[in-house]
Structure 1
């Protein structure tokens, strides 16, 4: 259970330096929505930054406490931080990059944008990634109250990335075999470019 039911409640209870917000408007059709990192959902900010680059708008809500960052988690249906909602509202489609538990390297793909979901499944599989739908309905990104559904199209994409996959993709380069951060970024950008044609 979340400690806070809204961003307003969180902000009035936590110290100002307990969290940080990044909102970069690239005036793009697509954006990365509500990625969280640093002991809330480690690795998601790094992945969102890599995918967004200078192409897509980017929103990050980051925990910065020395301990207890899980207290800062607000479920997507209750997340109402104003700059994040504004950025989503100015985009056609939002893509939420979130973290879940898991010792296998899996991307759980969900959301309401079925065309883009299908394209992403294909490009991810070509990149060597394992794709699945999470068994927990709360992690499938289909709830219309999800804060990412407030884009102009009312459709969004949600990734639930296992801890094992996030650790693998954000680890320091070394003699790794298998899919890389570059493969992850390329898969998303390829799918988006096909939709935009």
Structure 2
């Protein structure tokens, strides 16, 4: 996806917070931050997954597109994602999990980021729970400036959920459809949480 804006300041000059987009965040106690920088209508389903995965224990952040259409204009690439509240939360985290959406009909979770040990562990656990995992050819999250790698230990995990998987997590990927979830959604969250209960 090609970004319309190079920085958050440029985006904010063209769009109104509370009308076109919303930022929500909260601190947890675990040292782990779960972040969805392309939530709401930008990459539908990622906000809901990140919120459920964070629960009350982990820190949570999402940047949520609220427009009726054209939310792709609000996309800021993860290596240039400079929304100030996101950066402040990232700096306080020991390590970070970012949740993204990518194209693809097969229900696959693409694992990226610089935290190699945690990626391997996640792949094993997810596959035990019946989820297919892979490494994305393009979205690998290996740049140190990628949001997932901006925690204190300099390495994190990037999750890219295919469109096919996200469609299976909700009755529909519309705003109202995402108010409810399927049993697969809860299976996915339970699988992730077995990893996030552990320290970096």
Fold conserved between structures, TM > 0.5: yes
Tell me the residue number matched to 2:160: 160
Alignment of 1:23-172 (within 5 A): 23-136=25-138, 139-171=139-171, 172=180
Give yes or no for the alignment of 1:196 onto 2:199. yes
For residues 164 and 88 of structure 2, what CA distance do their matches in structure 1 show?
32
Give the total of aligned pairs.
190
Task: Quote the offset at 1:39 in angstroms.
Answer: 2.3
SS at match of 1:45: helix
Residues 78-135 of structure 1, C-alpha deviation per residue, up to 9 Å, x if partnerless?
A: 1001111111110011101000001110000111011111110011001100000112
RMSD of equivalent CA atoms: 1.6
For residues 105 and 195 of structure 2, what CA distance do their matches in structure 1 show?
26
Task: Quote the offset at 1:166 in angstroms.
Answer: 0.8
SS at match of 1:26: coil
Give yes or no for the alignment of 1:182 onto 2:178. no
For residues 36 and 53 of structure 1, what CA distance do their matches in structure 2 show?
19
CA contact (8 A) 1:76 1:146 kept: yes
Structure 1 segments, 4+ long, off by >4 Å, are none
For residues 164 and 188 of structure 2, what CA distance do their matches in structure 1 show?
14
